[in-house]
Amino acid sequence: MIIEKIKESRFTPEVFDIETFGTAFSDHMLLCWYKDGKWGEPIIKPYGKLDFTPAISVGHYGQGIFEGMKAYKGSNGDVYLFRPEKNFERLNKSAVRLDMPEIPEHIFMDGLKALVDLDRQWVPATHGMSLYLRPVMFATEEAITARSSNEYLFAILTAVAPNYYNKPLSVKIADRYSRAANGGVGFAKAAGNYAGSFYPTHLAREEGYDQVVWTDDATHTFIEEAGTMNVMVRIGDKLITAPTSERILDGVTRDSMLQLATKLGIEVEVRKITVQEVYDAHKSGELKEVFGVGTAVVVNNYVAVGYGDERLELPLLSPEESYGQILKKNLVDLQMGVSEDPFGWRVKVEENLVEA
C-alpha cells in the first residue's frame, strides 16, 4: 500500500461542532484503480479532487455502488469499527449485480483500517458522534458506449458525523411511486436507487412530510423501507419488520437491532406487514412506534405517518418506554465500547498501522 501523508493536517477541534452530515471530510482518502482486468496497488493520499472528463462511464450508465460505515472512539481513546465484514460482503454483492469487479478483501479491510488509523484524530469521542466511512466504487472508463465499463475506481472517504437527524420525522406512505421492483437492484446499495427516490421525497415534502415509506411495487399494500432506512413497526409490545428480499436492502443496523431486541427480551417478528395492518393498529391504539434504522441515523422515531389524505399521529414515548430509543442506546453503547460486546461485532483499529 502506498502512503502519501498530508503536509499539514486540516483538523481543528471545531470540526466536531458541525451540524451538517457528510461535509467535513478528513485529511486522507484511499484510492484503488481497476484496469486491464485487475486491481492495482491501493494508495492513501490527501483528500482532494480527481481528474475526469464528461465521458466518464458512471455519468452515463450508472455503474456506481457504495457502503455506509462508521468509526467510533471509546472513552479510553480506542477506535473501533462495527461489523466491517458485513459491509465488505454487501459491497461485493452489489458489484456482482451491477456487473462490476469484486474488490479483494485485503484492499477493503487493510485499506479501511490503515485510513482510519491515519486519521484517528478525526474520530470524535463525544457519545453518539462518529467518523462516517464511505467506501464507493464507480465506472471510470472514458467511453459512452452502452456496456459495462472496463475501468473502475474504488475509494474510501471519511467525514465527521454529527447526529444525522436532530428532530423526529414524519413520513408519507407511498401509493404510486416505487423504490424497487422484483428482478431489479433494490437489494444492492446502488447509486441509482437513491436518485430515483428524490422526486417522490420532494413531493412528500410538499405535503408536509420529511420522507417516504416505500411499499411493494405491485400492489403498494406491503411496507418495505422508509427513506434511506429499514423500517420497524411496534404494535403492542411486538416489533415487526419486513424480511429482506431482492427489493429490500439487507441493512447492517437492521440485523444488529433484531439481534439486540431478541437479547433484550423484546418479541420480534420478521414478516410481511401491510399498510392496512398499520392503519388498523393506529385506529385501535395499538400502534406504539414506527421508526427507521440505518448506519447514518441509527434510529429515528417517526411522529406521524401519512396514509392517503390522513395524517396518523404517533404517541411520544419516553426514552425508557420507546423500543427505538432503547435499542439505539444499547447499540451506540456497544459501538463506542461503553458496554460489553457479546456478539463480537466491535473491531478495534490498532494504532500505528501506517508507518511514520
- One DSSP character per residue, 227-247 reads TTEEEEEEETTEEEEPPP-SS
Residue 353: is its pLDDT beyond 90? no
Single pTM value for the model: 0.95
Which residues, 6 or more positions from 331, have their beta carbon under 8 angstroms from its beta carbon?
Answer: 253, 256, 257, 260, 298, 299
Given a cut of 90, is residue 160 above it in pLDDT?
yes
Comparing 162 with 36, which gets the higher pLDDT? 36
Whether 167 shows a pLDDT value over 60: the answer reads yes
**What is the structure's pLDDT at 227?**
87
The Cα–Cα gap between 323 and 318 comes to 10
- Residue 164: the pLDDT is 62
Ranges 145-149, 159-163, 223-227, most confident: 145-149
Mean pLDDT of all residues belonging to the chain: 95
Helix (H) / strand (E) containing 114: helix 105-118
Q: Which helix (H) or strand (E) holds 112?
A: helix 105-118
Q: What cell does 240 get? A: 415487526
Pairwise CA distance, residues 316 & 215, whole Å: 25
**Region 299-307 average pLDDT:** 95
The residue with cell 439505539 is: 328
Residue 323's alpha-carbon distances to 3, 239, 319, in angstroms, are 44, 8, 8
Is the predicted pLDDT of residue 354 greater than 80, yes or no?
A: no
For 221-275, how does the pLDDT look when each residue is reduced to its tens digit (9 = 90+)?
999 999 889 999 999 999 999 999 999 999 999 999 999 999 999 999 999 999 9
pLDDT at 352: 83
pLDDT of residue 165: 61
Confidence band (pLDDT; 50, 70, 90) for 306?
very high
Given pLDDT bands bounded at 50, 70 and 90, which one contains residue 166? low
Nearest-angstrom CA–CA distance, 84 and 42 = 18
- The percentage of residues in the chain with a pLDDT greater than 70, rounded to a whole number, is 99
Q: Which amino acid is at 338?
A: V
356 pLDDT more than 60:
no
Which residues, listed in sequence order, are joined to residue 290 by a DSSP beta bridge? 233
155 three-class SS:
strand
Task: Determine the pLDDT at residue 22.
Answer: 87
Q: Are 168 and 302 in contact (CB under 8 A)?
A: yes
| Residues 6+ positions from 201 with CB-CB distance below 8 Å | 211, 212, 227
* pLDDT band at residue 355 under the 50/70/90 scheme: low
Q: Which domains does the chain have, with CATH numbers?
A: 2-163 (3.30.470.10), 169-316 (3.20.10.10)
> One-letter amino acid identity for 38?
K
330 phi/psi in degrees, rounded to 5: -65, -40
Is 128 or 216 the better-scoring residue by pLDDT? 216
Q: Which of 265, 319, 263 is nearest to 289 (CA)?
A: 319
